[in-house]
Amino acid sequence: MKLIKKARQKINIVLLAVVMTFSSVQPIAAEQTTVVANKQVRIQDDFYTAVNEKWLQEAVIKPGYPSVSTFGELEDKCRVQLDAIFKQLFENQSQYKANSTERKMINLYNNYLNVEARNKTGITPIKSYMDEIKSAKDLSGITKLLNNLRIQQNTGLLNVGVGADLKDSTKNCVYINSTGLILSNSDYYTKDTEMAKTMKTAINTYLNKIAVLYGYSETGAKKKVDNAFKLDSMLAPSIIGQDEVTVDPNIYDRIYNVYTLEQLDQLAPNLKPSTMLKNIGLDKATKIILQEPEWLKALDKIYTKENVNIIKDALEIRFLYSTATLLGEKFENANKELAATLYGVEGETSREEQALNVISGIFSDEIGKLYVEKTFSKEEKEDVEALVKEIIANYKEKLQKVEWMSPETKTNAIKKLDTMTIKIGYPDKWMDYTDLDIKSIEEGSSLVENVFNIADWSFAKQVQSLNQPVDKTTFLISPQTVNACYNPSANDITFPAAILEAPYYDIHQSREANLGGIGAVIAHEISHAFDTNGSHFDEKGNVANWWTEQDYTKFEENTKKVRSFYSQIEVLPGQKVNGDLTVSENIADITAISCMLDILNKEKNPDYKAFFESWAKVWRIKSSEAYTEQLLQLDAHSPGKVRANAVVQQFEEFYEAYDVKEGDGMYVKPEDRLKIY
């Protein structure tokens, strides 16, 4: 719900694909710019386009979305189920007690739909917070503000949270992450690129607009927004940018800096982080990890009485940025314009659809429980589980055969496979919403108040988990999410019920189609345990080196080839894939298909075409040009077409199945083909 990212983590769980991360309170839509040639494309020249030609011609991007894809289509399918669940909920609403989870969901849903109420209250729900920021007279006043959890969370100057210790994944500890920059990536402040200019101009315009809507004069708004960017520009050089994260092999050691409360205060005497941690209940931490000491030093240097006005203006703008879309239609419209500029989005989704997405995200387990009851059978769960086990067994064989890896490293790699936790469909235990307070508008609440309550509740759960063992049974993505993930710090793989649907998976479709769909997805997630990221984590999920030096050098040589191969692929005129940014996902794709082919090769008369075509179908996507450009800059995955084509090009089975020859568009010389494992 907040554009300024909270608890900006350098370490992310690895998702199968980027999904629309825009909150539904920032409705967006899309235009269609993908041009498909009318003449038939040969499979041998462009596999992806040839397989998906009809779909690419006919698929329509819905209003409110920047793209249409297999993922999006499955999300639509899932939404039909969620609609039915909600309909039922409303039919039974007279039975629900005041503090029941059902009542809370209905309250929030109605709350979200009631835009008239928001238009009427306008900025009132955030005014007291904004006034509090404005009234700070000096540094101690600002420090007091930062001790207020809601102000702290909605301004993102410091990002504090609880998470699994990177080097002892069984325990939870406190993380202090750097300032969530308005443009999200420090490279956009320190490097003069086209994308940086686009982002800065679009967001600057948006912030000025919402500051005027809040009630400032144009000059007043400009001064405040300029100061917000000024503060960011002062901090950005000390914050590690995305470009560096993608190429630094020692990034995990670099962001693992253990500090005591006293040491934090010594490093930042003006800010005194210990007081802030105490005020939000995190001072009892047995371990505090400061991700970027250079950033904290820089922030502390800026934290002086000379800069009080800059900091205050920045906090105001940041608070407004975080909450603006909850303040009624005028603010929503400004956000729509921003989405149109940045992502080429046109039109909007219905408010009911937005509400459903919001509720499904917040009450993810409650909705998830109802969703799996309706859609997911025990038989399917067992079938997919058997497939996962088969793929893991194949990986073991595969690793044993890797020529460049020593027996010592192989043993450690296989340990990761043996201890990997498999999560399929839905979690064994569900989240409890008893302590979450969601009141209706009639009871005097507002959308802003409810959203703040949700954030408070979520933070309180983090505080409770501090110094406690990490609960490794939870699902990081809900059952109704169309995606899959590998979590390196738990060494687990998750496949929610919503992705276990055709074309990925159908208990009744051919084995080859399932192997090219969900099989490849499973193999992709498993291989993240051994990609450029997962290679830094051991079988317990701890950052540790389990490689011999020689093996790691060879691994890096191989990955360099992957970086360079993908860097040469042009996606839009003059714009190529970022081979560094996408390296771990590309390795996962190549390794996945290699693994699935091992399995297929053992079968009697396997239908290779059905397998490869299933792979090409799951990655089809049509998106606005602006969105494609954004993804090229930000997404760790290569674009769908590249995922489909560049991967199959590496395998002899593909050349044989389709008689691909030198001179064909899909042809890559055998000596240039990529192989990691």
What is the binding site for Zn ion (CB under 5 A)? 14, 585, 588
Write down the least CB distance from residue 536 to Zn ion, Å.
16
Q: Which is nearer to Zn ion, 240 or 592 (CB)?
A: 592
Provide the residue count of the chain.
Answer: 677
| Whole-angstrom distance, CA of residue 291 vs CA of residue 306 | 27
Q: Peptide bond before 503: cis, by omega within 30 degrees of 0? A: yes
- 582 within 8 A of 591, measured Cβ to Cβ: no
Write down the least CB distance from residue 621 to Zn ion, Å.
16
- Residue 159, by phi and psi: left (phi above 0), alpha (psi -120 to 50) or beta? beta
Exposed/middle/buried for residue 128 (C-beta within 10 Å: 0-12, 13-18, 19+): exposed
Q: Which is nearer to Zn ion, 318 or 536 (CB)?
A: 536
| Whole-angstrom distance, CA of residue 593 vs CA of residue 618 | 13
Q: Which is nearer to Zn ion, 14 or 271 (CB)?
A: 14
Q: Which is nearer to Zn ion, 296 or 485 (CB)?
A: 485
* Amino acid type, 479: P
Write down the least CB distance from residue 486 to Zn ion, Å.
7
**Locate tokens 């919403």: which residue?**
433
| Whole-angstrom distance, CA of residue 18 vs CA of residue 74 | 14
Write down the least CB distance from residue 584 to Zn ion, Å.
7
| Whole-angstrom distance, CA of residue 672 vs CA of residue 564 | 11
Q: Which residues contact residue 634 at a Cβ distance below 8 angstroms, ignoring those fewer than 6 apart?
A: 18, 185, 242
| Whole-angstrom distance, CA of residue 635 vs CA of residue 341 | 18
Dihedral sign computed on CA atoms, order 394, 396, 397, 403: positive
Q: Which is nearer to Zn ion, 12 or 601 (CB)?
A: 12
Q: Which is nearer to Zn ion, 243 or 635 (CB)?
A: 635
- Bridge partner list, 492: 421, 487
Write down the least CB distance from residue 15 to Zn ion, Å.
6
DSSP symbols for 311-338: HHHHHHHHHHHHHGGGS-HHHHHHHHHH
| Whole-angstrom distance, CA of residue 191 vs CA of residue 547 | 35
Alpha helices in 499-548 (DSSP H): 511-514, 520-527
Q: Which is nearer to Zn ion, 268 or 588 (CB)?
A: 588
Q: Which is nearer to Zn ion, 441 or 618 (CB)?
A: 618
- 677 within 8 A of 530, measured Cβ to Cβ: yes
Q: Which is nearer to Zn ion, 318 or 637 (CB)?
A: 637
Instruction: Tell me which DSSP letter residue 515 carries.
Output: I
Instruction: Tell me which DSSP letter residue 518 carries.
Output: I
| Whole-angstrom distance, CA of residue 382 vs CA of residue 431 | 24
Q: Which is nearer to Zn ion, 14 or 211 (CB)?
A: 14
Write down the least CB distance from residue 484 to Zn ion, Å.
8
| Whole-angstrom distance, CA of residue 86 vs CA of residue 99 | 18
**CA end-to-end distance (rounded Å), the chain:** 40
Write down the least CB distance from residue 17 to Zn ion, Å.
8
Read off the tokens for 48.
């992806």
Write down the least CB distance from residue 521 to Zn ion, Å.
9
- Bridge partner list, 14: 486
Residue 646 phi/psi, 5° resolution?
Answer: -65, -30
Write down the least CB distance from residue 648 to Zn ion, Å.
17
Q: Which is nearer to Zn ion, 14 or 647 (CB)?
A: 14
Q: Which is nearer to Zn ion, 14 or 145 (CB)?
A: 14
Write down the least CB distance from residue 525 to Zn ion, Å.
7
- 104 within 8 A of 436, measured Cβ to Cβ: yes
Q: Which is nearer to Zn ion, 14 or 499 (CB)?
A: 14
Write down the least CB distance from residue 18 to Zn ion, Å.
10
Write down the least CB distance from residue 14 to Zn ion, Å.
5
Dihedral sign computed on CA atoms, order 581, 583, 584, 588: positive
Exposed/middle/buried for residue 558 (C-beta within 10 Å: 0-12, 13-18, 19+): middle
| Whole-angstrom distance, CA of residue 312 vs CA of residue 394 | 58
Q: Which is nearer to Zn ion, 149 or 588 (CB)?
A: 588
Write down the least CB distance from residue 638 to Zn ion, Å.
11
Q: Which is nearer to Zn ion, 14 or 311 (CB)?
A: 14
CA–CA distances in Å: residue 166 to residues 54, 394, 600, 674: 47, 29, 37, 31
Write down the least CB distance from residue 151 to Zn ion, Å.
36
Q: Which is nearer to Zn ion, 317 or 590 (CB)?
A: 590
Write down the least CB distance from residue 365 to Zn ion, Å.
24
Write down the least CB distance from residue 127 to Zn ion, Å.
43
Residue 16: which of 488, 532, 636, 536 has the closest Cα?
Answer: 636
Alpha helices in 303-445 (DSSP H): 308-323, 329-343, 351-362, 364-375, 378-401, 407-419
